[in-house]
Structure 1
Amino acid sequence: MAICRDLIRLDTSNYGTGEGPGERAAAELVMELLTEVGLEPELFESRPGRASVVVRLEGQDPSRPALVLHGHLDVVPAAAGDWSVGPFAAELTDDVEGGMIWGRGAVDMKDMDAMILAVVRQLVREGRKPARDVVVAFFADEEAGGKFGAGYLTREHPGLFEGATEAISEVGGFSVDVDGRRAYLLQTAEKSLAWLRLIADGRAGHGSQVNEDNAVVALADAVARIGRHAWPYTPTPTVDALLRGVADLTGLPYDGARFAEDPAMVDALVAALGPAAKFVGATVRNTSNPTQLEAGYKANVIPGSASAVVDVRLLPGHEVAGMATLRELAGPDVRIETVHQDVSLEVPFTGSLVDAMVDAIGAEDPGATVLPYTLSGGTDNKWLSRLGITGYGFAPLRLPAELDFAGMFHGVDERVPADALKFGTRVLDRLLRTC
């Protein structure tokens, strides 16, 4: 708990420009906490202030493939005026038994960073080794796509991850209430990411004249078509497995063969996940949301060009068809440029690591169910996948049923129960001993 609060107090806001406070202060704290117990971590700066930390723990059986256990040190910005408490004050309140920790990063993801540090420090202090080698990494820049963090390290220092085949990080392992029963969502898939710039060129001129080649009009039409497009419900293996599990818990009907034809059936199962429905509801289809607009410099001047940015998230296996649809929606008068693009991920809900994660949850919360799910956003597992490393989202937290955990990602008043951190630390410790 103390580590989490100390990390939150360090403003590591990532504005997506490559500038800002950076992660250096948090990286130095991580270095201090790891060296204090006798480890020899390394700090890497991709540019001044943009710092990541990596250390490798020797396992009981170093001949086995290594595991990467990673988090990110940056957070999205927070407007203090919107918060009930100071976003970097790390206040501890008595909202729930054991207390609630408030602040930017309490959910995304200094909570998991703190759990990783607590487990690693305890292992070393007690002279215990994990079951296999573990590469522990704290990355910079995840909130802006990872270019200066995981991207930099996987490109420039791939040897740090030598022999690793699997990885664990955000966003999964948290509990939800499903019809009065607790279920944990283990992330086994991520949508692809594409930040696309739409550009329309036209004929500049005086605002008082007739202009049938107005770039703003062409852009506005394209943005409206893309933003209003009703993407069809599309099943993927992970979403299908999740909804089957929810159907088993609730008794609600589910027929995977009718997924696309019966949105109401899908919506009912998604709704049964409570607050987590916000996450899951975005994974039953592709999404494309306009987020930025730019055009003109004066009220009476028709600009020669106009641009917009669209945040596109496509389902695993549907990227090619999705991009073709976007080009059609944009139309012939608007060109598309890529601002940032990254892959989708999807792995089976099977294997020894998955079994170990399920068992670790079951040992601490007997009778709970673990279900796979797809993340609508993305994680640094995308970068690790370029090295052939299979990634999962598993930041285990046992949460109060009424807590809107999913809604606090990038939201205001981020907070996490202190007891949830203690639970997650126990689960991670058990996992490293058995996986």
Structure 2
Amino acid sequence: MTSPPAAIRPEDEVVDLCRDLIRIDTSNYGDNSGPGERDAAEYVMARLTEVGFAPELIESVPRRSSVVLRIPGTEPTRPALVLHGHTDVVPANAADWSVDPFAAEERDGLMWGRGAVDMKDMDAMILAVVRDMGRTGWRPPRDLIVAMFADEENGGRLGAQWLVRNRPDLFEGASEAISEVGGYSVDIDGRRTYLLQTAEKGLAWLRLVADGTAGHGSQVNTDNAVTALAGAVHRIGEHAWPLRLTKTVTQLLDGVAELTGTSYDPEDISTIESLVDALGPAKKFVGATLRTGANPTQLEAGYKANVIPGQATGALDVRLIPGDEHEVMETLRRLAGPDVRIEDIHRDTGLEVPFSGTLVDAMVAAIDAEDPGARVLPYMLSGGTDNKSLHRLGIAGYGFAPLRLPPDLDFAGMFHGVDERVPVDALRFGVRVLERLVRTC
């Protein structure tokens, strides 16, 4: 008599799901010229329908596809929880990589490929946990809204933002959300610590426009648009933004100081930077959350070397400390000067939510169950996530894609970087933590 086949657990298939997703090219070029997310959305639909669910595929425009599924919980009077990912990725230049970025090769215990950390790893964890619900019939305490969004890498305008504006019914009754970029481990003075994202900086992509008098390049021109723009770009690029520690950043620094047995002065940047350095690879994220930053990213003017153009334009990527938006814009207008105007390309809000409450307690407990004795600290993300869009509906968003990582792995540096990769053991660890969380929160 043969034994019945062993039950499939989420950790048994999370690696395969991640591999499959990476192999679907969903590059987002920001101009709707790429392949879109349709193929990945259809893959997600198939994986969910084959275990008995009926998700909805929604397109804002052709091939820009999101998938949403609502699973009733056992305590329907409680607010719903949104568990979301995005299936698009930033483009990858294969010539720069050690491997084919869309081959999803497994080498030395790591899964390589575009999206391995941003964020098809978490997408695979979500799918593995939800598929286990479908196969075995267990249900979470709260209603669970599972979403795989399009277009996150371009601000979510054709994904989460579009759904919030056009289909808010999908998120009815939800109070909290979980997605990227948090829950990953760092080593602090020999103690494994998981960084839970409770805040993210605001976003402003801005255009600088200088108008001048067009003319021959040989003539005297005191109304040169290029000169005006260059001055504005230089002043903004060189501006020293003031130190501004939010509650989240202060809580993180307090925790690192405790773990390292040191102290810091909130007014002394050198003492703060020593704590940031103790975070290892994560210091790239954390170091950018101590103050607002404004980076010039594009310049455009003229069509011929001997013609003074009538207009010159540039672009800025501004990442703002939450709550400082008005002050930052006033400073930018002053630095740009009277001859350069500032226009919006895209703006989104900064977020900061409490490092406390039932959901946070459940996240900490889920980590502790799989990695006893590890610490969990809050941090602010220097970038942004689709939680910004859900915030418009009053949904408090957290970053919790749990991964137990080797201390020397430059995890933060692989976001939008070359040779993106994630340990397969970290995927299996993460899906166990995520399942515990969804079962208990």
1-structure distance, mates of 2:356, 2:159: 29
Instruction: Determine what percentage of the aligned residue pairs are the same residue.
Output: 72
2:434 corresponds in structure 1 to: 428
2-structure distance, mates of 1:423, 1:182: 14
User: Do residues 78 (structure 1) and 88 (structure 2) align?
Assistant: no
Q: What is the CA distance between 1:60 and its match in structure 2?
A: 1.1
Q: What is the CA distance between 1:397 and its match in structure 2?
A: 0.3
1:390-409 matches, cutoff 5 A:
390-409=396-415
User: Do residues 388 (structure 1) and 398 (structure 2) align?
Assistant: no
2-structure distance, mates of 1:127, 1:199: 58
1:25 corresponds in structure 2 to: 39
Q: What is the CA distance between 1:232 and its match in structure 2?
A: 1.3
Which among 32, 39, 62 is matched to residue 48 of structure 1? Answer: 62
Aligned partner letter, 1:148: L
1-structure distance, mates of 2:107, 2:438: 31
SS in 1 for 2:317: strand
Aligned partner letter, 2:235: R
Q: What is the CA distance between 1:265 and its match in structure 2?
A: 0.7
2:138 corresponds in structure 1 to: 128
Which among 349, 354, 362 is matched to residue 360 of structure 2? Answer: 354
Aligned partner letter, 1:387: L
Which among 231, 238, 246 is matched to residue 228 of structure 1? Answer: 238
2-structure distance, mates of 1:161, 1:51: 17
2:313 corresponds in structure 1 to: 307
Task: Give per-residue Cα distances to partners, 1:104-124, cap 9 Å, x unaligned.
Answer: 000000000000000100122
1:316-355 matches, cutoff 5 A:
316-355=322-361
Aligned partner letter, 1:287: G
More deviation, 318-327/392-401: 318-327
Q: What is the CA distance between 1:234 and its match in structure 2?
A: 1.0
User: Do residues 90 (structure 1) and 100 (structure 2) align?
Assistant: no
Aligned partner letter, 1:60: T
Alignment length (residue pairs): 427
Q: What is the CA distance between 1:19 and its match in structure 2?
A: 2.5
Aligned partner letter, 1:166: E
1:230-269 matches, cutoff 5 A:
230-255=240-265, 259=266, 261-269=267-275
2:278 corresponds in structure 1 to: 272
2-structure distance, mates of 1:11, 1:284: 35
Q: What is the CA distance between 1:18 and its match in structure 2?
A: 2.1
User: Do residues 219 (structure 1) and 233 (structure 2) align?
Assistant: no
Task: Give per-residue Cα distances to partners, 1:42-87, cap 9 Å, x unaligned.
Answer: 0001001100000011111111100000000100000000000011
1-structure distance, mates of 2:185, 2:76: 33
SS in 2 for 1:89: coil
2:216 corresponds in structure 1 to: 206
Task: Give per-residue Cα distances to partners, 1:139-159, cap 9 Å, x unaligned.
Answer: 000000001000111111110
Normalised TM-score (structure 1): 0.97
1:185 corresponds in structure 2 to: 195
2:10 corresponds in structure 1 to: none
SS in 2 for 1:413: coil
1-structure distance, mates of 2:129, 2:428: 10
Aligned partner letter, 2:184: F
1-structure distance, mates of 2:94, 2:262: 42
Runs (4+) of structure 1 exceeding 4 A deviation are none
Aligned partner letter, 2:64: R
Q: What is the CA distance between 1:365 and its match in structure 2?
A: 0.4
Q: What is the CA distance between 1:319 and its match in structure 2?
A: 1.1
1:157-176 matches, cutoff 5 A:
157-176=167-186
User: Do residues 112 (structure 1) and 118 (structure 2) align?
Assistant: no
1-structure distance, mates of 2:332, 2:196: 30
2-structure distance, mates of 1:234, 1:157: 36
1-structure distance, mates of 2:113, 2:424: 13
SS in 1 for 2:60: strand
Structure 1, unpaired ranges of 5+: none
Task: Give per-residue Cα distances to partners, 1:351-384, cap 9 Å, x unaligned.
Answer: 0000000000010000000000001111000100
SS in 1 for 2:18: helix
Q: What is the CA distance between 1:212 and its match in structure 2?
A: 1.0
1-structure distance, mates of 2:377, 2:391: 22
What is the root-mean-square deviation in Å for CA atoms of aligned residues?
A: 0.6
2-structure distance, mates of 1:18, 1:155: 20
1-structure distance, mates of 2:154, 2:74: 36
Q: What is the CA distance between 1:168 and its match in structure 2?
A: 0.2
2-structure distance, mates of 1:171, 1:305: 39
Aligned partner letter, 1:263: I
Which among 413, 420, 428 is matched to residue 419 of structure 2? Answer: 413
2:110 corresponds in structure 1 to: 100
Q: What is the CA distance between 1:247 and its match in structure 2?
A: 0.2
